[in-house]
Structure 1
Amino acid sequence: MFTLSSTLLIFVLLGHTLSAPTFLYIRDAQPSDNDLFASCPGGPGSKNVERADKCTLINIVNNPDTHLQYNVGNVQGNCEGGTNPVSLTVGGESTTETTTTASADLGIDFAGISIGGGIESEKSTSSTKSNSTSITVNPGRQAVMTMSVLAHSQSGNVQVNYGDRVDGHFIWFTGTVITQTIPTDEITFDVHETKCGTDPLDFTNTS
């Protein structure tokens, strides 16, 4: 049998239970790196976010310089079974351009996407060079002109700026690191000669 004091105690306990606060943990939405890169100027765009005003390389790390190898013009050969050397002209033109790669497979084609802030933003991203020369090619040999271009390389994350808030923020940063390889004007031309019947465009071919 309940007493008056027991009834009051039950109401007090129920009151504490009903008034206990409820905590809701809500995680902010966040665009993916695919969305961020795609929204950069020159990118294909993303249905999930608006177009970015600009994209900038940050946390820049300067990588060692490298040399980019290009074939220039068509292969010329003395491969018709003759027994005499022939004089041939090798050369033509080839285009060098800045390339961008990502540390993760995002399925993004970076060609045309504008990301400033590094060396790439200080010079043209594309340049066409031409050269030719006459050479003597012995029987059973073929040749092609090659071009070696000194290139600088930088890596970093990308800061993406929007004119309006995207998921609550005007600025987002990619977790993915990109690497930009930027050709210079320091170019060396040479002639790569190989045995007929082998791949003349393979720079490792020393036949």
Structure 2
Amino acid sequence: MTLPAAATGGASTRLDPLELFLDADIVVQAVMLGLILASIWSWMIIVSFGLRLNGAKRRSAKFESDFWQADDFESVMGLYRKKDVPSVRIAGSAMNEWKRSTAKGLKDREAASGRIANAMAGQIAQEADELAARLNFLATVGSVAPFVGLFGTVWGIMNSFFQIGAQESSSLAVVAPGISEALFATAIGLFAAIPAVIAYNRFSNGVNMFEAKLQRFADKFHANLSRELERL
């Protein structure tokens, strides 16, 4: 049975996010806008970080392949020195320490070997820290956004109850719009938080795996340098 137009009153039968935003209280609007901006910034970090991490992995893999096939390590490093390659900087830190330790004759092989290992370990930690620095924002959004959205929801519901008192009516038609707008704030908070949490967990694991790969490269290079120290 089809209802007459007068019965429906021309009311919308679907949620309109833009209308919910425009009709919301100014505080709820501010919460929504902040969450939307946080979500946009999170997605920018997600895309840029994904490209950066994949690029670092690809360049390091290419360098390491050329590095182990070369007879002269320093010549290969020279070809990659101006490129953004973490493995190059790790090998460079080892070679710099090697040169300082052997410049005036080698006096203590074990001490020199330990300094080389420490130099590479420090560079690995720096590379991992620089990669993971921007992930802090994703962690913050993932943990805080739902609560910010909940604050908007609580404020909106409080405003709806205020409207009940002001209009002296407990009709659902009076409070439903305000409650819908308030709950929309929570939805936006979840919309911002869920991708941020997923991306943070995935990228953190990616950084840890890449750090482990760099450590294996450093261990292998350190073994080569240790053998060279024994010949001196």
TM score, norm. by length of structure 2: 0.26
Q: TM-score, normalised by structure 1?
A: 0.28
The higher relative CO (CA closer than 8 Å, separation ≥ 6) is in 2
Query: Which structure would you say has the larger Rg?
Result: 1
Higher strand share: 1
